[in-house]
Amino acid sequence: MKKLSFLLLGVFFAHILSAQNYQLWYDKPAQKWTDALPLGNGRIGAMVFANPSQERIQFNEETLWTGEPREYNRKDAYQYLGQIRQLLQEGKQKEAEALAEKQFMGLKSNEGKRETWIADMLALKGISGNPSQLNFDDSSWKTMTVPSYEGWEAVGYEGLDGAVWFRTTIDIPAGWENQTLVLDLNRIRDYDYTYINGKLIGSSQHTEGRKYQIPVNTLHVGKNLIAIQVLNFSDKGGIAGYKDTSRHIGIYPVGQEDKKISLNGQWKYFIQSDEAPAVGKYQADYQPFGDLYINLLHGKEYQNYRRSLNLATAESQTEYSVDNVVFKREYLVSQPHQVLALRLSVNKAHQINLESFLTSPHKNYSFKSLGNNTWELSVRVRNGALFGKAYLQIQQKNGSVEEQAGKIVIKGADEVVFYLTAATNFINYQNISGNPQKRCEEVFSKLKGISYEQIRKAHQAEYQKYYKRFAIELGQDAKSHLPTDVRLANFGKDNDPSFAALYVQYGRYLLISASRAGTQPSNLQGIWNDLLAPPWGSKYTTNINAEMNYWPAGVLNLIPTQQPLIQMITDLYKAGQTTAKNYYNARGWVVHHNTDLWRGTAPINASNHGIWVSGAGWLSQHLWEHYQYTQDKEFLRKTAYPIMKSASEFFVDFLVKDPKTGWLISTPSNSPEQGGLVAGPSMDHQIIRELYKNTIKASQILGLDNAFADTLSQQYKQIAPNQIGKHGQLQEWLQDLDDPKNNHRHVSHLWGVHPGHDIGWDIDSTMMKAARQSLIYRGDEGTGWSLAWKINFWARFHEGEHALQLVKMLLRPATSAGGSYLNLFDAHPPFQIDGNFGGAAGIAEMLIQSQTDIIELLPALPKDWSEGKVKGIQARGGYILSYAWKNGKITELSITSKESTTCKIRINQVVHTLKLQSNKPYLIEF
């Protein structure tokens, strides 16, 4: 190798920057939400559908959630801790779970008066006549698709909770009237009262399969009426069907299901009441805010259509032509000006004619004019204390603007610019005294006299401070001329390495767009959500998903995006101390497997998976990682170390000696999210060891708490070790219970391989091989985020071909097995953004690893990526690197250290020791 001069640095990777014009683009409009293109500034998120005739922009404001500040903790729950531990020790898992379910879960929000409401619905309040009867007139009723697996929300009834009547008819063949028949309704959410020809034949109050035997002579030959009253209290509602859509709802003679007459289809329906009583919930849900609709009043036939998302500028664009007029739309969400901006332009004068309005899925929203071409959308969440306002302002060149029947009508304009902002009354998790109207007014007051181009220029400058820190090329960009959906469909079959590079930059784009200083951290869907009852509440799942969101932040040079996560950890550190005291009578802080906007830290959902104690330990690792990448001792002293120490104090008090082995174990807990409530899951012990190790290192760096560090050192040696089971696998539990046929999506016991470093080739190759065997048993298939985690595992195993195979599985069209939607959002399914972030981090893990004291370059490089470049990738220890490779070998390298130090780095299988000066690039050519 030879050292290069400093002057060569400017030329070294200059050409890579010019090649970073990565775009998602399509030759057809979005049909579904997961086709739409995401924009965001950390606070406001938008999804752009880009239909020529009707633009829809669905938008969110990050602090609009259900719920309110309240007590999440059950006081003195620790009184039952000893009994639960004893039951687990005796092998009485079900008894332990039953006791924990009754005495150890967190507190729910307040319930509504369900009994009174049910009685009113059964008494037919709010409806004239009796819909169960044959002579009832339903001619004015509308129709709904039945069944809908994802609830009636999935077929156009978002936000509907309440009482709904359904009616349909069925023709019964001759010979069936004297037989006992079965009405198979699959699943109904939540209650049903089912009638045939006016007679009640069954009622249930659960979501499991409903099969009602129909008494002989209830049905007659010919047409018969089926009427069902459904009472739904929250979340997905209605006649839901089975996941296996081949299993229709219908009627058949007992024992002759093959003769079933299907009832799938359009049923008449009537909403008796949409005011279901509030349901108690452990934690809150992230909410959509509203939709901006723009109806373009031009011909319906269009040509030359293209919509795109430019990752380098964080802007979307739509272009098409109608009757030889070129229509163009440009979209962005500005952080400096805190607005969503949309510019419509044409290549001929006076051709823009449109009508526009704002709506919201929230009930009883209002949309009104404030004058001066400004309009206001007001919303309030159901079952919560938060409300919000969105302001829309329109500026146009030429033409006219007026309001007609609640819509904004523009005629004959040359250009139209829409500005949208939104705010809520949320200030922090303990304070909801904000004024959203004032916040919107302040945003718009700063727009006076400012043009769209000025907003755009400021937006690009702010965004590119983050985006341009890193660049990547993986082979030739030979297929960017193809639409993104075509590349997605072909990626598993074609060699398209630049698509993987695009995916990395897309992950960075999403993280920048969802997480900026001063905002909330990226949740389960980042900042994008269109559902009032989103999957898993779109919360922060702390047994992997919330952490996975920030795996790219260090290595992909986006450290500033971690600030919201660090702030949430600081909040949880405070809230979690109450939970630690109430549930475990322990010092320090704890968070279980979920949290929300209100920073709930108590166990939730169910005792067989909700009592998982290691959230604080895992989150503390992110504080240490932040220090590792930044070498910021002030951050370590003031923020990270006190929180890490407190998390360690919890485990010092919490761990108990296993009477059978003498090891210190974590109990009660869970190996997410399978196996039930147990004593001593391996994942816990790996996280605790990592926490102790990092806390000890931090105390040594800062010269603090020697006695406490000694305590951690002593406990560290006593914690139950990783074990190899009878199948050659790394054990998931204290006992050797693993099933080689278990293909569960969680692979929690491999946490020590990644993101931890409790297991590694440099520590114990035998244990690393056992971990690898566990992953082989678990299989390659998995939901989106699970595939992303497995990419990181195989990278740590140094098996690039296997890792690439999983990259291809992640980047395949979404199915029930996972993959990616057309807009490249991760498919759990449904959408979860963690797979995007975990996948981007996994590709980086294939190119660089720094979890040991040696930086490894190209540790898991597949043959398809034998040539490439990266600029601005980061390594732990405070290093920034740029390097190029050909034929799988490093050819050029630049490395810069934040501090003067000696660095060990493995290049082309050889370990080099470099002496680096603070902030001075070290350039090498091989």
What's residue 159's pLDDT?
Answer: 86
177 pLDDT higher than 80: yes
- Compute the C-alpha angle 267/272/273, nearest 5°: 125
881 confidence band (pLDDT: 50, 70, 90): very high
Task: Name the residue among 516, 472, 476 with its Cα closest to residue 496.
Answer: 476
What's residue 1's pLDDT?
Answer: 62
- Stretch 509-518: mean pLDDT: 98
Task: Name the residue among 231, 232, 278 with its Cα closest to residue 108.
Answer: 278
Q: Which residues pair with 904 in a beta bridge?
A: 913
Q: Three-state SS across 668-711?
A: CEEECCEEEEECCCHHHHHHHHHHHHHHHHHHHHHCCCHHHHHH
798 pLDDT higher than 70: yes
384 pLDDT higher than 60: yes
Give the model confidence (pLDDT) of 768-796 as tens digits. 999 999 999 999 998 899 999 999 999 99
- Stretch 93-102: mean pLDDT: 98
Can you say whether the dihedral through the CA atoms of 714, 716, 717, 718 is positive or negative? Answer: positive
Give CA–CA dist 277/668, Å, rounded: 35
DSSP 490-532: HTTTS--HHHHHHHHHHHHHHHHHH--TTSPPPBTTBT----S
Instruction: Report pTM.
Output: 0.94
Copy the structure tokens of residue 385: 């204390």
Give the model confidence (pLDDT) of 673-689 as tens digits. 999 999 999 999 999 99
Copy the structure tokens of residue 759: 């297991």
Lowest mean pLDDT among 141-150, 333-342, 867-876: 141-150
- Stretch 888-912: mean pLDDT: 96
Task: Name the residue among 366, 315, 340, 367 with its Cα closest to residue 443.
Answer: 340
What's the mean pLDDT when you consider all of the chain?
Answer: 95
889 pLDDT higher than 90: yes
Give CA–CA dist 696/702, Å, rounded: 10
15 confidence band (pLDDT: 50, 70, 90): low
808 confidence band (pLDDT: 50, 70, 90): very high
Give the model confidence (pLDDT) of 258-272 as tens digits. 999 999 999 999 999
Give the model confidence (pLDDT) of 466-501 as tens digits. 999 999 999 888 899 999 999 999 999 989 999 999
Copy the structure tokens of residue 844: 């980086």
- Stretch 529-558: mean pLDDT: 96
Q: 139 burial class (0-12, 13-18, 19+ CB within 10 angstroms)?
A: exposed
What's residue 7's pLDDT?
Answer: 44
Give the model confidence (pLDDT) of 223-275 as tens digits. 999 999 999 998 889 998 887 888 899 999 999 999 999 999 999 999 999 99
Can you say whether the dihedral through the CA atoms of 26, 32, 34, 39 is positive or negative? Answer: positive
Give CA–CA dist 845/863, Å, rounded: 16
What's residue 702's pLDDT?
Answer: 98
Give the model confidence (pLDDT) of 822-862 as tens digits. 999 999 999 999 999 999 999 999 999 999 999 999 999 99
Give CA–CA dist 173/250, Å, rounded: 14
Give CA–CA dist 424/79, Å, rounded: 40
Is the previous residue joined to 497 through a cis bond, with omega within 30 degrees of 0?
Answer: no
- Stretch 314-323: mean pLDDT: 98
Copy the structure tokens of residue 136: 């009832």
- Stretch 641-646: mean pLDDT: 98
Percent of the chain with pLDDT over 90: 90
* Buried b / exposed e along 364-396 (16+ C-beta atoms within 10 A): ebebeeeeeeebbbbbbbbbbbbbbbbbbbbbb
CB 184 within 8 A of CB 260: yes
Give CA–CA dist 155/153, Å, rounded: 6
Which structural domains are found in the chain, ordered by start? Answer: 31-67+283-466 (2.70.98.50), 114-273 (2.60.120.260), 519-851 (1.50.10.10)
Give the model confidence (pLDDT) of 30-63 as tens digits. 999 999 999 999 999 999 999 999 999 999 999 9
20 pLDDT higher than 80: no
Give CA–CA dist 586/600, Å, rounded: 18
CB 759 within 8 A of CB 624: no
What's residue 16's pLDDT?
Answer: 54
The residue type of 145 is: T
What's residue 922's pLDDT?
Answer: 94
- Stretch 134-141: mean pLDDT: 96
What's residue 207's pLDDT?
Answer: 67
- Stretch 288-296: mean pLDDT: 98
What's residue 477's pLDDT?
Answer: 85
Task: Name the residue among 843, 842, 855 with its Cα closest to residue 893.
Answer: 855
Q: What are phi and psi of 701, to 5 degrees?
A: -60, -40
What's residue 235's pLDDT?
Answer: 84
What's residue 262's pLDDT?
Answer: 95
What's residue 245's pLDDT?
Answer: 84
